[in-house]
Chains A and B, each alone.
Chain A
Amino acid sequence: MRPAAALALLSALAAAALLADRWQVVAAIAAALLGVCLRAPAARRRPYLLGCALTAGAVLLITPFVVVEGVNVLWSGPVVPVLGQLDVTSEELAAAAFQALRLSAVTLAFAVYALLLDHDELLRSARFARRSALVVALATRLVPTLERDAAGLVEALRGRGVDVGGVRGRARLVSPLVSGSLERALNLAEAMEARGYGRGGATRPPALRWRALDRGALAAAAIVAVGALWL
Chain B
Amino acid sequence: MQDVCFTYGDEAHPALAGVSMAIEPGEIVLLTGRSGSGKTTLIRALAGLVPHFHGGRFGGRVDVGGLDTRLTRPSELAGTVATLFQDPEDQVVFGGVAAEVAFGIENAGVPAEEIESRVCRALDEVGAVHLLERKVAELSGGELQRVTLASTFALRPSLLLLDEPTAQLDPEAAAALLRLVRRLARERGTAVVLSEQRVARALDVCDRVIVLERGGVVIDEPRERARRWFQGARPACLALARTTQARYVGGDTLCRLDAVDFAYASGPPVLAASSLELRRGEIVALTGPNGSGKSTLAKLAAGLLEPLRGTAWRSGRASYLSQDPGRYLARERCDEEVELGARGDSGAAARALEAVGLSGYEARHPRDLSSGERERLALAAVLATEPDVLVLDEPTRGVDPEARQRLAALLRRQAGQRATLLVTHDLELVEAVADCSVTLEAAGELLAA
Chain A residues in the interface with B (C-beta under 8 A): 41-43, 118-120, 123-124, 134, 137-138, 141, 144, 152-153, 155-162, 172-173, 175-176, 179-180, 183-184, 187-199, 201-206
Contacts and interface: CB of A to CB of B under 8 A. Distances in A.
A138 B304 contact: no
B78 interface: yes
B381 interface: yes
A123 B385 CA distance: 47
A161 B317 CA distance: 8
Contacts of A192: 93
Where chain A touches its partner, the secondary structure class is: helix
Interface string B73-104: 11110110111010100111111100100011
A199 B322 contact: no
A190 B53 contact: yes
Most chain B CB within a 10 A radius of its CB, from A41, A155, A189: A155
Given A159-B322, A203-B110, 13 more contacts: A118-B95, A120-B96, A152-B326, A156-B324, A162-B341, A188-B90, A190-B85, A194-B47, A196-B76, A199-B107, A201-B109, A205-B112, A205-B115
30 contacts: A42-B265, A43-B266, A120-B95, A138-B93, A144-B137, A160-B382, A160-B385, A161-B319, A161-B341, A162-B341, A180-B326, A184-B90, A187-B90, A188-B91, A188-B93, A192-B93, A193-B49, A193-B52, A193-B53, A193-B75, A194-B78, A195-B75, A196-B108, A198-B73, A199-B73, A199-B75, A202-B108, A203-B109, A203-B111, A205-B106
B99 to A, nearest CB: 4
Interface stretch (B21-29, B228-236, B327-335, B429-437): B327-335
A7 B304 CA distance: 40
B302 interface: yes
A67 B299 CA distance: 51
Given A161-B317, A206-B112, A199 B99 contact: no
Given A192-B93, A193-B53, A195-B104, A156 B328 contact: yes
A180 B367 CA distance: 9
Interface residues of B, number: 62
Where chain B touches its partner, the secondary structure class is: mixed
B151 interface: yes
Interface in B1-56: 47, 49, 52-53
A119 B83 contact: no
Nearest to B47: A194
Contact of A176 (B105, B330, B382): B330
Nearest to A188: B90
B423 to A, nearest CB: 13
B151 A195 contact: yes
Interface of B: 47, 49, 52-53, 73-76, 78-79, 81-83, 85, 87, 90-96, 99, 103-112, 115, 137, 151, 155, 265-266, 299, 302, 304, 317, 319-322, 324, 326-330, 332, 340-341, 367, 378, 381-382, 385, 391
Contacts, number: 158
Contacts of B87: 187
B112 A155 contact: no
Contacts of B73: 193, 198-199
A155 B54 CA distance: 32
Contact of A160 (B99, B155, B319): B319
A18 to B, nearest CB: 28
B74 A194 contact: yes
A193 B54 CA distance: 12
Contacts of A137: 95
A124 B93 CA distance: 12
Most chain B CB within a 10 A radius of its CB, from A137, A161, A188: A161
Given A152-B322, A156-B328, A199 B85 contact: no
B304 A204 contact: no
A199 B304 CA distance: 47
B115 A203 contact: yes
A194 to B, nearest CB: 5
A159 B321 contact: yes
Contacts of B391: 159
A118 B91 CA distance: 19
A203 B329 contact: no
